[in-house]
């Protein structure tokens, strides 16, 4: 199963987000998906090590989705086992007053990964054409011109050595509600409860429309969007881990060669000097 092909949005094509697509799990059953996840997480770990040692390039993974779509769970399952020194997670919530005193990409650019690192965005600059649009936080003409800025920004990251992969975690309205309700009944999940999530859900059609526009307009050759069926958590983890692992392996980061003066050191100590 070629996840990259199955879920990548072709540049210029029009995305339609249908609830019925969210619980699909093409190409794998649960047992196989979990087994492959374990393999792919290892592949990510290994490639990340090489990326760090190489120290010249980086990978940015953008996660977007409605509330309870599974952004946090994805980070835990896909990147949890990777060396924490090599992964930087950045979460973007409501902008602070200092952030609002700057352009919307200012806070984002500061948190792109250093060379050698994997950066994971839990929400991102896309909020500035999603919630900002739906709630009318800026005039229409302001958010409408942002798609172009975003494409140029991501193009620049790509050109300067940061590969960009973007995942939309697609949960159905029904599954989203089920998960939000768990936050009011399950003590382990209650800390995530936010009454606003329910009011946001009631405007779901507006968010879907905003997402369809963002995914359609900003899936590019250099920074593709993927729509991942995310009603089944195991499938979501499996699909994302596979795409990330394949991408890292394709980048094929290389360990630097042995030091040229290493031989001399070996000789010196081989003679019993210390």
Q: Which stretches of the chain bind Mg ion, using CB under 5 A?
A: 194
Q: Which residue from 88, 95, 151, 206 is in contact with ligand AMP, where contact means CB under 6 A?
A: 95
144 binds, among ligand AMP, Mg ion, none (CB under 5 to 8 A by kind): none
Nearer to ligand AMP, 18 or 94 (CB): 94
Does position 18 bind ligand AMP by CB under 6 A? Answer: no
Nearer to ligand AMP, 71 or 117 (CB): 71
Does position 132 bind ligand AMP by CB under 6 A? Answer: yes
Q: Which residue from 31, 94, 191, 199 is in contact with ligand AMP, where contact means CB under 6 A?
A: 94
Phi-psi region of 14 (alpha: psi -120 to 50; beta: other; left: phi over 0): beta
Q: How far is the CB of 90 from Mg ion (least distance, A)?
A: 16
Does position 123 bind ligand AMP by CB under 6 A? Answer: yes
Q: How far is the CB of 172 from ligand AMP (least distance, A)?
A: 19
Does position 210 bind ligand AMP by CB under 6 A? Answer: no
CA distances from 39 to 45, 240, 243, 245 (A): 10, 13, 13, 9
Q: How far is the CB of 189 from Mg ion (least distance, A)?
A: 11
182 binds, among ligand AMP, Mg ion, none (CB under 5 to 8 A by kind): none
Q: Which residue from 33, 65, 113, 127 is in contact with ligand AMP, where contact means CB under 6 A?
A: 127
Does position 256 bind ligand AMP by CB under 6 A? Answer: no
Stretch that binds ligand AMP, among 91-99, 183-191, 234-242, 265-273 (CB under 6 A): 91-99
Tell me the sheet residues that pair with 87. Answer: 118
Q: Give the C-alpha separation, 221 to 159, whole Å.
A: 12
Does position 92 bind ligand AMP by CB under 6 A? Answer: yes
Query: What are the φ/ψ torsions at residue 177 (nearest 5 degrees)?
Result: -65, -45
257 binds, among ligand AMP, Mg ion, none (CB under 5 to 8 A by kind): none
The number of residues that bind ligand AMP (CB under 6 A) is 9
Q: Which residue from 89, 90, 105, 131 is in contact with ligand AMP, where contact means CB under 6 A?
A: 131
Nearer to ligand AMP, 25 or 151 (CB): 151
Residues in contact with ligand AMP by the rule CB under 6 A: 92-95, 123, 127-128, 131-132
């Amino acid at each position: 199963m070629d996840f990259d092909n199955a879920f990548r949005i072709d540049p210029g094509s029009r995305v339609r987000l249908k609830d019925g697509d969210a619980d699909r799990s093409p190409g794998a059953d649960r047992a196989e998906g979990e087994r492959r996840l374990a393999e792919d997480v290892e592949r990510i770990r290994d490639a990340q090590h090489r990326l760090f040692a190489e120290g010249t390039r980086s990978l940015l993974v953008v996660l977007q989705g409605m509330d309870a779509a599974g952004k946090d769970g994805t980070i835990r399952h896909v990147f949890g086992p990777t060396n924490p020194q090599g992964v930087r997670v950045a979460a973007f919530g409501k902008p602070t007053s200092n952030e609002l005193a700057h352009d919307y990409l200012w806070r984002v650019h500061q948190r792109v990964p250093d060379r050698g690192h994997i950066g994971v965005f839990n929400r991102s600059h896309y909020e500035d054409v999603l919630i900002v649009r739906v709630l009318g936080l800026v005039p229409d003409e302001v958010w409408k011109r942002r798609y172009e800025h975003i494409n140029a920004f991501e193009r620049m990251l790509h050109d300067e050595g940061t590969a960009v992969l973007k995942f939309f975690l697609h949960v159905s309205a029904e599954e989203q509600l089920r998960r939000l309700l768990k936050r009011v009944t399950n003590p382990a999940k209650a800390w995530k409860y936010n009454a606003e999530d329910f009011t946001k859900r009631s405007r779901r059609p507006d968010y879907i429309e905003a997402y369809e526009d963002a995914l359609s307009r900003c899936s590019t050759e250099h920074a593709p969007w993927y729509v991942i069926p995310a009603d089944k958590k195991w499938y979501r983890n499996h699909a994302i881990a596979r795409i990330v692992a394949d991408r890292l392996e394709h980048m094929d980061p290389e360990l630097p060669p042995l030091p040229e003066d290493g031989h001399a050191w070996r000789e010196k100590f081989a003679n019993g000097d210390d």
